[in-house]
C-alpha cells in the first residue's frame, strides 16, 4: 500500500477515535428528545424541561424552558436562596429591650420558636429565666394571615397554617385519641375549644374548625384508634400572649409600641436545620415565616412583599425571565417561573452554599428522604438525584441536581401543569426520564 494512503488512513483513524471519545463524553440530546416525543403522559398536558451541565456550564436540552409554569412548592427554592443571602447562620428569634423592671420583646417571624420538631428554645429560656415583667410588643407585622392567592377553603388543613409575627407550636393544634379513644390536644389549651356535634357526619372521621373562630367540632362517634389530626388555629395577638403565659407560667402583657433602634436580638437554632426541614418536608409554614425573618433582619419590620421585591431587584435581576413571585411557600397559583430561570437559580444556590454534600443533605434525596423518597429508586443504595418537588391539584414539578453514572453533574427543572392524569403517573414518567439520563450519560 502506498505510503500516502497509509498516512490518510492513520489520519482517518485518529479522527474517528477522537469523535468517539467526544461522543462518549457528550450527552446526546436526540435521545432525550425522543423520550418526550414518544411519551403518552407528557403529550397530554403542558410540560417544561431544562437540563444543564454544571461542569461545562452549558445547556444540554430544553423543552418549553422559556414558558411560564405554576411552580407550586418549587417556589421554596426562591425562598431558600433569599434566606441564604439575607440570614446569618442562626435564625433570629426575638428582638428585645429592657426598660426598668420590664422586658419588652418583639416577634421576628421565627418558625423554630417552640416548634414541635425543631424545638427552638433559646428565646423561650431567655423569657423563662428573666426576672422582669414580660410584654409582647406589636406593630411589626404588615401582612395578612394568608399569602396572596391562597385558597381560603384549605384553612382546616395542616399545610395552611396562618402567618404571624410570633408563631408558637407551628401555629397548629394536634388532636389525637388517647387509649380510651378520648380526644386530647397539644397544646392542652385548645381542649376548651373542642365540641361534639351530632349533625356533623363526615365520610371519614375528621374534625373541622370554624372558619371564623377556634371552635373545633367532632363527630359524635368514637374516634378511631391512633387517630391524629393537625389543624391550623386562628391566630391573634391575645391568643399568642395566652399561650406564652401557659407555657412560661408567667404573666405576659401586650403593648403596641415601636421597636427601638437599639433593640437586641436573641437567636434560636442553626439556619441549615430550618432549611432542611423546609425543603425536605416541603413545610409551607416554615417558608412563609422564614421570609418574615429575612424582613426582620433587612428592614426591621415584618413584610414579606418587601423581601420578595428586594430579592427580585437585587439577587434575581439576571434571571432569563423575570419571576412572578407571590408568596414564600408556593401555595399561591399566582407564582409563575420558567424552567430556564430555575436552572439559573439552582446554580446561584450552589454558588451560595459552595458545598455539594451540604446542599444535597438539605434537599430531598431520591429513594432516601423527603418528598423524593418514593419517587426514585437508588443506584445500589446510593441516591443520584436531589431536589425540591412542587405539587398542587393538576400540577407536579421537580427541580434539583443529578449525577449520572459517568460522573456528569447536572441541574434539572421538570415542570408539569394542567394534567388530568393521576399525579403518580406523571411522577413515575418523570422518574423514568431522569433515571434514563442517569443510567446512560
Give the DSSP per-residue string, 281-306. TT-HHHHHHHHHHHHHHHHSSB-HHH
Q: Do the Cβ atoms of 178 and 123 come closer than 8 Å?
A: no
pTM comes to 0.92
Mean pLDDT of 85-91: 97
Q: What's the number of domains the chain is made of?
A: 2
Quick check: bond before 187 cis, omega within 30? yes
Residues 308, 388 within the same domain: yes
Residues 324, 434 within the same domain: yes
End residue of a domain, out of 219, 234, 249: 234
Cell triple for 342: 430555575
What is the percent of the chain with per-residue pLDDT over 70, rounded to a whole number? 94
d(Cα 92, Cα 268) in Å, to the nearest integer? 6
Residue 23: is its pLDDT beyond 70? no
Residues 310, 431 within the same domain: yes
Q: Which residues pair with 184 in a beta bridge?
A: 176
Cell triple for 326: 407571590
Q: Cβ of 226: how many Cβ atoms within 10 Å?
A: 7
Residues 181, 301 within the same domain: no
Mean pLDDT of 284-295: 98
Domain encompassing residue 205: 168-234
- Give the tens place of pLDDT for each residue, 322-344: 999 999 999 999 999 999 999 99
**Kind plus residue range of the DSSP H or E element containing 388:** strand 385-392
Can you give the pLDDT at residue 12?
45
Mean pLDDT, the chain, integer: 93
- Give the tens place of pLDDT for each residue, 176-218: 999 998 999 999 999 999 999 999 999 999 999 999 999 999 9
**Is 99 inside a domain boundary?**
no
- Whole-angstrom CA distances from 344 to 16, 53, 403, 411, 437 are 36, 12, 18, 9, 20
**Is 101 inside a domain boundary?**
no
pLDDT band at 15 (very low <50, low <70, confident <90, very high): very low
CA atoms within 13 A on the CB side of 345: 29
Residues 216, 323 within the same domain: no
User: Which ranges of 236-387 does DSSP label H, i.e. alpha helix?
Assistant: 237-248, 271-280, 284-299, 304-314, 339-353, 356-362
**Is 334 inside a domain boundary?**
yes
- Which residues, in sequence order, are CB contacts of 3 under 8 Å at separation 6+? none
**Is 338 inside a domain boundary?**
yes
d(Cα 282, Cα 389) in Å, to the nearest integer? 8
Cell triple for 322: 423575570
Residues 309, 222 within the same domain: no
Mean pLDDT of 267-287: 97
Residue 11: is its pLDDT beyond 60? no
**Is 141 inside a domain boundary?**
no
Residue 14: is its pLDDT beyond 70? no
**Is 222 inside a domain boundary?**
yes
Residues 216, 298 within the same domain: no
Residues 408, 303 within the same domain: yes
CATH classification at residue 367: 3.40.710.10
Q: Phi/psi zone of residue 67: left (φ > 0), alpha (ψ -120 to 50 degrees), beta? A: beta
**Is 5 inside a domain boundary?**
no
Between residues 93 and 9, the one the model is more confident about: 93
Beta strands (DSSP E) in 108-260 are 133-138, 172-177, 183-186, 194-196, 208-209, 216-218, 228-232, 252-256
End residue of a domain, out of 234, 260, 280: 234
End residue of a domain, out of 234, 252, 274: 234
Residues 324, 405 within the same domain: yes
Can you give the pLDDT at residue 9?
46
Residues 414, 301 within the same domain: yes
pLDDT band at 17 (very low <50, low <70, confident <90, very high): very low
Q: Do the Cβ atoms of 36 and 48 come closer than 8 Å?
A: no
Residues 301, 431 within the same domain: yes
Residues 424, 302 within the same domain: yes
d(Cα 122, Cα 107) in Å, to the nearest integer? 14
Cell triple for 38: 414518544
**Is 1 inside a domain boundary?**
no
Can you give the pLDDT at residue 28?
81
Amino acid at each position: 500500500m502506498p505510503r500516502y494512503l497509509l498516512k490518510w488512513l492513520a489520519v482517518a483513524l485518529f479522527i474517528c477515535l477522537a469523535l468517539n471519545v467526544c461522543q462518549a463524553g457528550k450527552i446526546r440530546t436526540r435521545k432525550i428528545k425522543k423520550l418526550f416525543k414518544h411519551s403518552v403522559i407528557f403529550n397530554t398536558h403542558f410540560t417544561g424541561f431544562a437540563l444543564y451541565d454544571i461542569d461545562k456550564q452549558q445547556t444540554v436540552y430544553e423543552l418549553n424552558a422559556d414558558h411560564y409554569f405554576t411552580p407550586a412548592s418549587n417556589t421554596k427554592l426562591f425562598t431558600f436562596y433569599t434566606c441564604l443571602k439575607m440570614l446569618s447562620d442562626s435564625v433570629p428569634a426575638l428582638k428585645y429591650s429592657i426598660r426598668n423592671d420590664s422586658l419588652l420583646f418583639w416577634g421576628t417571624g421565627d418558625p423554630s420558636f417552640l416548634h414541635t420538631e425543631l424545638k427552638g428554645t433559646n428565646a423561650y429560656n431567655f423569657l423563662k429565666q428573666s426576672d422582669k415583667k414580660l410584654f409582647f410588643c406589636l406593630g411589626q407585622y404588615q401582612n395578612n394571615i394568608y399569602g396572596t392567592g391562597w385558597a381560603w377553603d384549605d384553612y382546616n388543613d395542616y399545610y395552611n397554617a396562618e402567618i404571624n409575627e410570633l408563631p408558637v407550636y407551628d401555629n397548629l393544634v394536634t388532636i389525637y385519641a388517647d387509649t380510651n379513644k378520648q380526644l386530647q390536644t397539644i397544646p392542652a389549651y385548645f381542649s376548651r375549644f373542642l365540641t361534639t356535634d351530632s349533625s356533623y357526619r363526615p365520610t371519614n372521621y375528621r374534625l373541622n374548625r370554624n372558619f371564623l373562630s377556634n371552635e373545633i367540632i367532632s363527630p359524635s362517634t368514637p374516634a378511631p384508634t391512633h387517630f391524629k389530626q393537625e389543624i391550623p388555629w386562628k391566630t391573634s395577638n391575645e391568643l399568642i400572649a395566652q399561650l406564652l403565659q401557659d407555657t412560661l407560667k408567667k404573666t405576659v402583657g401586650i403593648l403596641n409600641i415601636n421597636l427601638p433602634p437599639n433593640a437586641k436580638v436573641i437567636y434560636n437554632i442553626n439556619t441549615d436545620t430550618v432549611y432542611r426541614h423546609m425543603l425536605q418536608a416541603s413545610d409551607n409554614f416554615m417558608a412563609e415565616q422564614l421570609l418574615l425573618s429575612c424582613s426582620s433582619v433587612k428592614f426591621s419590620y415584618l413584610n414579606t412583599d418587601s423581601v420578595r421585591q428586594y430579592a427580585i431587584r437585587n439577587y434575581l435581576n439576571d434571571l432569563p425571565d423575570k419571576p412572578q413571585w407571590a408568596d414564600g411557600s408556593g401555595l399561591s397559583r399566582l407564582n409563575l417561573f420558567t424552567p430556564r430561570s430555575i436552572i439559573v437559580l439552582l446554580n446561584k444556590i450552589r454558588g451560595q452554599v459552595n458545598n455539594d454534600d451540604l446542599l444535597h443533605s438539605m434537599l430531598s434525596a431520591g429513594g432516601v428522604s423527603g418528598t423524593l423518597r418514593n419517587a426514585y429508586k437508588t443506584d445500589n443504595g446510593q441516591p443520584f438525584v436531589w431536589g425540591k418537588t412542587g405539587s398542587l391539584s393538576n400540577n407536579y414539578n421537580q427541580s434539583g441536581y443529578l449525577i449520572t453514572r459517568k460522573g456528569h453533574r447536572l441541574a434539572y427543572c421538570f415542570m408539569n401543569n394542567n394534567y388530568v392524569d393521576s399525579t403518580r403517573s406523571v411522577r413515575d414518567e418523570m422518574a423514568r426520564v431522569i433515571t434514563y439520563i442517569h443510567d446512560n450519560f
